[in-house]
Amino acid sequence: MKPPTGGRRPGGSSRPPGGGKKKGAKQRRRRWPKVLAGAFLSMLVLLGVFVGVVYATTEVPTAESVQNDQTTVVYYADGVTEMARLGNENRTNVTLDQVSEPAQNAVLAAENRAFYTDPGISFTGIVRAAWNNLTGGSTQGGSTITQQYVKNAFLTSDQTFSRKFKELFLAVKLDNEYSKEQILENYLNTIYFGRGAYGIEAAATTYFGVPAAQLTPEQGAVLAVLIRNPSANDPETNPEGAQQRWGLVLDAMVEQGWLDAAAREAAVYPAVLPNTGSSSGIPTGPEGLIVRQVLDELERQPFSYTRDDIYSAGLRITTTVDKAKQDAAVAAVDGVMAGEPENLREALVAVDPDTGGVLAYYGNAASSSEDPEADTTDYAQALKQPGSSFKPYTLAAALENGYSVNTRRDGSSPQEFPDRPGLPVVNSSNAQCGNCTLKEAMTRSLNTTFYGLAYDVGPEVVAETAREIAGLPATWDPNRDDPTVPEDLTGYETLSIPKTDTTGGSIGIGEYPVRPIQQAAGFATFAAGGVHHATHFVATVADSAGTVLGTGTTASTQAVSAEVASDVTFALTDVAESSKLPLAGDRPVAAKTGTQGANRTDNSDAWMVGYTPSISTAVWVGSKGTEAIVNARGNIIYGSGLPGEIWQEFMDTVLAGTPEEPLPTKALIQGDPDRSIPEPTTEAPAPTPSEEPAPVTTQAPAPSRTSSPAPAPVTTTAPEEPTATVTPTTPANPAPTTPAPTGTPVPTGTNG
């Protein structure tokens, strides 16, 4: 009998073996595409919602806000008081119909040929930029003019996804809300073309002396080339590269039908006006030199901005310069120098010993002038021989090498030294002190004492110590375009004889040139316990929204020990009083005068440098060259004269109402007694300072220091402010000595 139809198979199952598993697997496989499709659609919906929300909430800044965003502002130290607005003096907005059509077409040919048909963004450019960011390739992407306008006007130049994301939405929304003509007009008004020119109208007048409405195709192509890199493509600095790119722009105009081929063939590169160094908002007074120092500093580490970045990024720069102190500096110079001879020049620099920040800066009354004959030199950066104001560095080197401020030395005059046979060194007015401590010799500014001290310690040792204290470079950089460094010094060691890289004993009395700003920084190192803080003008840099992008340098080094700095300060505490330049209320102050001889009878440079624990100030008075300097009464100018008066007026003003700060009242370093000559058994008569001593020369014959007995104790008074001259010398050498260089004697360090 057959089993019943539909009956169960043995074992109770009615399904074939294995058939149920295959059917379930097939059903599950059919569900996966649906799940994936659903997830993808959900992501698209979420992305669409996200894009819609971001797009709806994205606000396009008004065109009127662009100029303020782009203008870089320089502030005083309070971060509120403006010193300068960079770029705003050379920007003139124009409507699109005030820009010639050929110039418009040149810009489009160079930057965005499909501008009038694209949606405001370049999808291929965005993909390329994203790929390059992921792979570490070039950060350049093909941005449209709309994207460039958004980036330049409203965003930063950072090559990041977040910035590109913002740029994308702003560009799309801008393209939808504004006409192409409005976008192009705003773009042309915000581009930086170099030479301080913002916008095409300013560029047309800067480069060609015509309004933008009169620009020819050739001129428009010159300006179009500048958009990518104004500095590198300036026809004055890179004529070959600029002209090559200019030709490519004209070729693109022909391809687009914007320029006739025959006109292209006949095109000649147009004449471009010379770069006159547009002020671009830089003040014309003394503060203009501060702004120029700020710009130079921003181009170096740690900021490394290009000049184009500074002028176009809308930065907010806070300087270290205190407005009240700067006003006091200008008032002190103007007040003291009123009625003085026109050939005189002045410099004043004040530095914060605790930070190295420049508190006040005066390098010239005018930082710029339309008169090509005008002297706009920044004398705070000029290299000038410091004379006796260099002696504290000589003392510091000695203190580090076994001497103390109580070490007694032969300060008689004249004296000969092995490195300058036949050329004796004399003290001013031939002052005599056969047995003075180094502190006494500092107060009386004895040349023979400090020349001999430098010779014995080692001129190179003194030079290296001074470099550390004042922050001088090892050499004058031959690759830096610095007009303040004479050609005969460029590439050679600082504090050395020009073109020799050798240093002689006359370094001890200030033969080799330094800058006023370096003198202020060097004395600030003594005030800071031997710590040298890098001198700087920039406190902080922020973007237009106030976000801090960087801070000024905080680099510091222990140039000399705290004990050495303290004893140098102690040695300088009597100088201001001795020079009849005490501060108000007999406030303690460490100071040193300096005078440099122009020739055998006159002075060319006069200095006063001094400090309290909170401020170090250097003042220099001289001339444009090395001509003799006299005051309005026809008298020779010494350090205690006009420079001292400026210094005293400034210091009294800025320190008024501040707590008195104590200075060291005793020496800390004992020194090696074998380096000292015996103390005299009878007390020398106290010297009576002379205010206007007669200058003397160094050519008079005199017995050698090494062959003559020690002169008697003080026999004549030693004024603080006389002058003398010596010739450049060769380094100390215990072997057979090298004669001093022959030729015309070079005026060098002197007393006071």
* CATH number of the domain where residue 109 is located: 1.10.3810.10
| Banded model confidence at residue 750, pLDDT cuts 50, 70, 90 | very low
| Banded model confidence at residue 704, pLDDT cuts 50, 70, 90 | very low
Question: How do residues 322-331 score in pLDDT, each as one tens digit?
Answer: 999 999 999 9
Evaluate if residue 635 carries a pLDDT over 70: yes
Average pLDDT over residues 727-731: 41
Please check whether residue 299 lies inside any domain of the structure: no
**pLDDT score for 1:** 45
- Residues facing 609 on adjacent strands: 592, 618
Average pLDDT over the chain, rounded to an integer: 81
**pLDDT score for 741:** 35
Total tally of structural domains belonging to the chain: 2
Same domain, 254 and 397: no
**Chosen domain end from 231, 266, 301:** 266
| DSSP label at residue 84 | E
22 or 465: whose pLDDT is higher? 465
Evaluate if residue 466 carries a pLDDT over 50: yes
**pLDDT score for 522:** 98
Evaluate if residue 709 carries a pLDDT over 70: no
**Chosen domain end from 248, 266, 284:** 266
H or E stretch at 303: none
**pLDDT score for 744:** 30
Average pLDDT over residues 336-364: 97
Cis ω before 372 (30° cut-off from 0): no
How far from 561 is each of 126, 414, 588, 599, 685, CA to CA, in Å?
58, 34, 22, 38, 35
**pLDDT score for 614:** 98
DSSP helix/strand/coil, 156? coil
**pLDDT score for 502:** 82
Please check whether residue 578 lies inside any domain of the structure: yes
Please check whether residue 148 lies inside any domain of the structure: yes
Tokens of 56: 């709806």
**Chosen domain end from 630, 655, 680:** 655
Query: Which amino acid type is present at position 47?
Result: L
Same domain, 519 and 643: yes
**pLDDT score for 462:** 97
H or E stretch at 412: none
Which among 303-312, 652-661, 669-678, 739-748 has the top mean pLDDT? Answer: 652-661
**pLDDT score for 694:** 35
Evaluate if residue 220 carries a pLDDT over 80: yes
Beta strands in 213-351 (DSSP E): 316-319, 344-351
Same domain, 258 and 398: no
Q: How far apart are the C-alpha atoms of 387 and 723, rounded to whole Å?
A: 9
Dihedral (CA of 661, 405, 463, 626) sign:
positive
- Please give the positions annotated as active site: 111, 388
| Banded model confidence at residue 580, pLDDT cuts 50, 70, 90 | very high
How far from 283 is each of 87, 325, 327, 621, 703, CA to CA, in Å?
11, 18, 15, 23, 57
- For residues 13-48, b (16+ Cβ closer than 10 Å) or e, as one string? eeeeeeeeeeeeeeeeeeeeeeeeeeeeeeeeeeee
Beta strands in 552-657 (DSSP E): 556-558, 590-597, 603-612, 615-623
| Banded model confidence at residue 732, pLDDT cuts 50, 70, 90 | very low
Same domain, 611 and 486: yes
Window from 422-431, 607-616, 643-652 with minimum mean pLDDT: 422-431
Same domain, 477 and 615: yes
Same domain, 262 and 385: no
Tokens of 520: 């202020």
Which among 249-258, 625-634, 668-677 has the top mean pLDDT? Answer: 249-258
Window from 18-32, 243-257, 520-534, 591-605 with minimum mean pLDDT: 18-32
Window from 44-48, 152-156, 398-402, 693-697 with minimum mean pLDDT: 693-697
| Banded model confidence at residue 682, pLDDT cuts 50, 70, 90 | low
**pLDDT score for 460:** 95
Average pLDDT over residues 655-677: 94
Average pLDDT over residues 218-236: 93
Evaluate if residue 29 carries a pLDDT over 70: no
| DSSP label at residue 61 | P
Percentage of the residues of the chain whose pLDDT score is greater than 70: 75
Q: How far apart are the C-alpha atoms of 336 and 646, rounded to whole Å?
A: 6
Is the overall model pTM greater than 0.75, yes or no?
no
**pLDDT score for 193:** 93
Contact between residue 434 and residue 713 where contact means Cβ atoms under 8 Å apart = yes
Percentage of the residues of the chain whose pLDDT score is greater than 90: 54
Please check whether residue 696 lies inside any domain of the structure: no
202 or 519: whose pLDDT is higher? 519
Q: How far apart are the C-alpha atoms of 498 and 741, rounded to whole Å?
A: 11
**pLDDT score for 673:** 87
Please check whether residue 73 lies inside any domain of the structure: no
Q: How far apart are the C-alpha atoms of 696 and 725, rounded to whole Å?
A: 8
Look up tokens 């499909």; give the residue: 114
**pLDDT score for 733:** 34
Residues 6+ apart with CB under 8 A from 297: 303, 536, 537, 538, 552
Half-sphere exposure for 715 (CA within 13 Å, toward CB): 10
Window from 230-239, 422-431, 573-582, 716-725 with minimum mean pLDDT: 716-725
Same domain, 259 and 406: no
742 or 624: whose pLDDT is higher? 624
Please check whether residue 468 lies inside any domain of the structure: yes
- For residues 56-86, b (16+ Cβ closer than 10 Å) or e, as one string? eeeebeebeebbebbbbbbbbbeeeeebbbb
CATH code, domain with 395: 3.40.710.10
**pLDDT score for 373:** 77
**pLDDT score for 84:** 92
Same domain, 446 and 592: yes
Q: How far apart are the C-alpha atoms of 662 and 59, rounded to whole Å?
A: 59
**pLDDT score for 624:** 87
Q: What are phi and psi of 214, to 5 degrees?
A: -105, 5
Question: Helix 180-190 to helix 145-154 angle, to the nearest 10 degrees?
Answer: 50
Average pLDDT over residues 511-519: 96
Question: How do residues 517-563 score in pLDDT, each as one tens digit?
Answer: 999 999 999 999 999 999 999 999 998 888 999 999 889 999 999 99
Q: How far apart are the C-alpha atoms of 269 and 291, rounded to whole Å?
A: 35
| DSSP label at residue 505 | G
Evaluate if residue 273 carries a pLDDT over 60: yes
410 or 706: whose pLDDT is higher? 410
Please check whether residue 478 lies inside any domain of the structure: yes
H or E stretch at 692: none
**pLDDT score for 46:** 63
Please check whether residue 409 lies inside any domain of the structure: yes
**pLDDT score for 492:** 86
Domain carrying residue 523:
380-535+554-655
Evaluate if residue 240 carries a pLDDT over 60: yes
Same domain, 493 and 618: yes
- Outline where 178-285 has alpha helix (H): 180-190, 199-208, 217-226, 239-255, 261-266
- Give the N- to C-terminal CA distance of the chain in Å, as an integer: 141
Window from 41-50, 595-604, 731-740 with minimum mean pLDDT: 731-740
Q: How far apart are the C-alpha atoms of 257 and 245, rounded to whole Å?
A: 19
Evaluate if residue 514 carries a pLDDT over 60: yes
Question: How do residues 50-86 score in pLDDT, each as one tens digit?
Answer: 555 455 545 565 655 555 445 789 999 999 999 998 8
